[in-house]
Structure 1
């Protein structure tokens, strides 16, 4: 059995990462008909503007050779090379605009569909592309049937347009047989341009359909199974079990650091068993007391135990302990709204210390 999941199990739409990875590998929705339309439009443009002008320029450039063929010396290979260069230059001047227009049209059709990018993955040898079975599936699968249908549609449209056009110009074509032969090329060019214009109009409809089909078929091929989505989520976000374990370890380390800081506290404000907040205040260090530890239930009892073991005063104030626990953060100064209440508690602690000294 194949390890690849069947298309029937790929019921989920592709994720953004799946789409992004496919595009980076050069797997993008592409319509071949768009390139065909671009080629037809380029030929139409060439026939309308470049062909007549280019042909006249070519004839003018070669008129010297045609009118005075004996004026060219062909005594040795150098003379033949010069003649070849002259012919190639004239032919190049005639063909360069045509080739450039076709190239620009092809590139524009590709850029219109997808942003250009360099993808080395697409040019790497892939033995699977030589598989006869996969080739057979491409020819006779859904994609092959669609391509065959498009080919039939194009053939039918071109045949119908050509038939209608020839019938419409039947009288003109018959008269051209008895007219001046010098006018025949212009007649043929005019008829060809009309035929090509009709083909372009028909092709636009086909391209619109093909663009939609290419994108729909592309997304269908990128569909994922639920297991693939879970695996991708693990790769991007991490395994939930591992992340939970990491959070637990981080909490344990933070709790241990917090407990290690309790012996440095100035006092602990507690709600007898539910809340405990350890504060450190040194007027030379900070402008307000700093929360070095806080906890609830078992952690609160642990903070009280460490404070008592280190002779740190524990002051029971239910409302203040609960409010400090809810409104403060570790290693941060207490909010200004608690300055007065905490100052009264600190003054009380200092006064008790002074009484013990006396």
Structure 2
């Protein structure tokens, strides 16, 4: 019941990230019928282009072997091994091309459906592969039912094709039995080609339908609930709570860095209660006054406290402090429109320093 409700809640199409993660785990849509179709095509290609010569050669060899058994010595173990090797070599020469074509067909079917990639997840031992519960679900679930129907359809097609072909060509088959081995092999080859062509045609239809179904079923299984989409969006963009915490930490670090720079300031411009801007200007070092720190309310008060502790001049100018706070950035020189006003304050600072030096 809970599983049905869980499936009902998965109404959203899978996101690109969900699809990408699934593919990286090796869970790709795969049609078994496509591989079976390419195998039948390979057998048909072999039968049409290679089986004629192979069938004649193998028929002649087996005929001579069966008609004149006395010519083959099997008195010793060595004789038996040589005879066995000769028979296997003849059969191997007849079917080696078929084996190569089947391998190529299998690889081609996999490449056509999905790009080849090495995925360790597919070879990692998993309990679900040997679980009786999961196996039962695979056998008697929707996918298992579809596979059962496809198997029935394939079996019915093969039986129908065999019955139709043999009913049409049974006389050719009977006549071939009274001919020589080579001629009878060619008759079987001709009938086999007819059967294979019919099977390939029907299998192409089944494979096309299964190819579409496998991708539809794969994508449907990847569907997500609204909550899963929201959670993934949070993960991709960052959890708002975590992002807020990170921003707070960044502000704290910047504030501490500013406070450690205030003791090196040349002067502080302040609105008596709301704003404070600490500036540094060193002749022959700074091209223009540099903003070391700025703050509002409690931060502004702390800047003024540090300035007093280090005997840094504080100038109270409401309009200038408010305007500068909005337009200056920490660790940057002040904008040019403030040069004249700040230069006057710097002049006062240096004048006071010069006067103290003279009096001392």
TM-score, normalised with respect to structure 2: 0.78
Q: 1:323 to 1:79 in 2, by over 3 A?
A: farther
Report Cα offsets for 1:62-118 as digits up to 9, x if no partner.
Answer: 798679866655453233323333333332222222112112211221222223344
2:146 aligns with 146
Please list every run of 5 or more consecutive structure 2 residues that lacks an aligned counterpart in the other structure.
Answer: none
SS at match of 1:98: helix
Match of 1:220 in 2: 220
Q: Answer with 126-135 or 49-58: which moved more.
A: 126-135
Distance 1:75 1:160, change over 3 A: closer
- Distance in 2 separating the partners of 1:349 and 1:214: 81
Q: Indicate the larger mover: 225-234 or 251-260.
A: 225-234
**Distance (Å, rounded) in 1 between the aligned partners of 2:56 and 2:287:** 93
| Cα gap change, 1:159 to 1:175, in 2 (>3 Å) | closer
Cα deviation digits, residues 314-355 of structure 1 (max 9, x gap): 345566545644454433444667666654543343234435
Q: Distance in 1 between matches of 2:171 and 2:58?
A: 30
1:8 aligned onto 2:8: yes
CA positional deviation for 1:252: 1.8
Gapped regions of structure 1 (runs ≥ 5):
none
Contact 1:62–1:90 at 8 Å: present in 2 too? no
Computed over aligned residues only, the root mean square deviation of the Cα atoms, in angstroms, reads 3.9
d(CA) in 1 for partners of 2:186 and 2:26? 45
Which residue of the partner structure matches residue 22 of structure 1?
22
1:204 corresponds to which residue? 204
Q: TM-score of the superposition, structure 1-length normalised?
A: 0.78
The CA distance in 2 between the partners of 1:70 and 1:156, in whole Å, is 46
Q: Contact between 1:165 and 1:195, CA under 8 Å: does it hold in 2?
A: yes
Which deviates the most, 318-327 or 249-258?
318-327
What is the CA distance between 1:54 and its match in structure 2? 2.8
2:258 paired residue number: 258
